[in-house]
A and B are shown apart, each in its own frame.
Chain A
Amino acid sequence: GESVGLHLPTLSVQEGDNSIINCAYSNSASDYFIWYKQESGKGPQFIIDIRSNMDKRQGQRVTVLLNKTVKHLSLQIAATQPGDSAVYFCAENAWRDDKIIFGKGTRLHILP
């Protein structure tokens, strides 16, 4: 089975609040992690990535946190907007394996 999994399949957040999407991974050899966003009818869209030598990386309104001790990855979206409604996937890669393994995905609902 896949080594990347997600804690919650669906997350509902009030517009304007911050969203936190979590992901667990089991392969300690994974050294590269990516978050993707997939809107209905579209392919996944790259959001942000992080390498295992980092704990945190920030982008525009998004922050990815990596905790290697507990093999946990999270995506924080600040001031969630209606356009953030989508399914979010975490993915991992181990340089030896050289394949990207995707998690099952979390659907983010934005409440008005």
Chain B
Amino acid sequence: KAGVTQTPRYLIKTRGQQVTLSCSPISGHRSVSWYQQTPGQGLQFLFEYFSETQRNKGNFPGRFSGRQFSNSRSEMNVSTLELGDSALYLCASSVGQGSYEQYFGPGTRLTVT
């Protein structure tokens, strides 16, 4: 069974631009969570989607948004990029709602210049 895939793996953007990252969960997994990982703050929860609905959201500004499609694939969008948004963005999938055995993708490394 294929693992969680994320595209693109690397991205360079300039301040003020917006970016969309994509995540394909493991087949049969319906829950997708997004995390931001930085050296200073570590792994921080962004949001979780289940059956195309946002179930939970972390403490991030409204510039960070996401969605989930009927095939469970998910995208996250960051608008008006700031230098501090440079990070590794990780997607994790799990079987269903309330299941915390999450499987992570390799992440998308975003650099904002």
Interface of A with B (CB < 8 Å)?
Answer: 2, 32, 34, 36, 41-46, 49, 89, 91, 93, 98-105
Contact = CB atoms under 8 A, between A and B. Distances in A.
| Interface of B, helix, strand, loop or mixed by DSSP | strand
A100 B107 contact: no
Interface of B: 4, 33, 35, 42-45, 48, 55-56, 58, 90, 92, 98, 100-107
Given A32-B100, A100-B100, A100-B102, A43 B42 contact: no
| Interface of A, helix, strand, loop or mixed by DSSP | strand
Given A93-B100, A98-B56, A43 B45 contact: no
Sorted nearest first, the 9 A-B pairs with minimum C-beta distance are A43-B104, A102-B43, A104-B42, A44-B104, A99-B45, A43-B90, A43-B105, A43-B106, A43-B107
A103 B106 CA distance: 19
A101 B42 CA distance: 10
A102 B107 contact: no
Contacts of B45: 99-102
A92 B58 CA distance: 15
A34 to B, nearest CB: 6
A102 B106 contact: no
A98 to B, nearest CB: 6
Contacts of B101: 46, 49
